[in-house]
Structure 1
């Protein structure tokens, strides 16, 4: 009986969880400041991409460890981070960037890919 209660409780908890964050569902104010690699993009890359896209990672064939590597792949990055969940090419694998983070990449490209 205790095991059944645990299973039912776990199932209810999992079904009722909302996977989207507040950032993803809230109304976004446009990004007005100039987006720069060092201040805005690199922290996102470091937190979400470097574990795979570095010398020893499974994505080492496409490293994203410095400004030039990210700049030269910006179209591919934007394409991959905007794909829907479940798409086999979605990045980062097993997760998603927030809408604000994705918009920072788009704005960075529009701003001319400023480094510092």
Structure 2
């Protein structure tokens, strides 16, 4: 009995990263800016990127900088150019933004 209890405790204490446990399910539907991308940008980017030269408050601004955005959100943790500063988007959020580009950057 002691051996089984020890095995359960050791298994339960397994350390996993956020990336390993976050939802990274492939996206099957079409991704649009207003429905899928805008909420991510508003919650994670607009507080620093508005107003100014790197403004991300509108569809056209985000669409125009999509390559830069994908580059910055996809960088490794610890990279000083990774965005958002002081954190990271989840793999699911990054997948939504990259799929939006692959789907043609649709607004609605």
TM range (shorter): 0.7 to 0.9
Can you give the 5+ residue segments of structure 2 that lack an aligned partner in the other structure? 1-14
Instruction: Assess if the C-alpha contact under 8 Å between 2:46 and 2:56 holds in 1.
Output: yes
Q: How many residues align?
A: 94
User: TM-score when scaled to structure 2?
Assistant: 0.80
Aligned-pair CA distance for 1:19:
8.6
Q: Specify which structure has the bigger relative contact order, considering alpha-carbon pairs within 8 angstroms and separated by 6 or more residues.
A: 2
CA offset digits 1:34-78 (Å, max 9, x no partner): 0000010000000000110012xxxx3200000000000000000
**Equivalent in 59, 68, 93 of residue 60 of structure 2:** 68
**Equivalent position of 2:4 in the other structure:** none
Write the mapping of 1:33-112 to structure 2, written as runs, cut at 5 A. 33-55=29-51, 60-112=52-104
Mind listing any 5+ residue stretches in structure 1 that lack a counterpart? 1-17
Mapped partners of 1:84, 1:19: distance in 2:
17
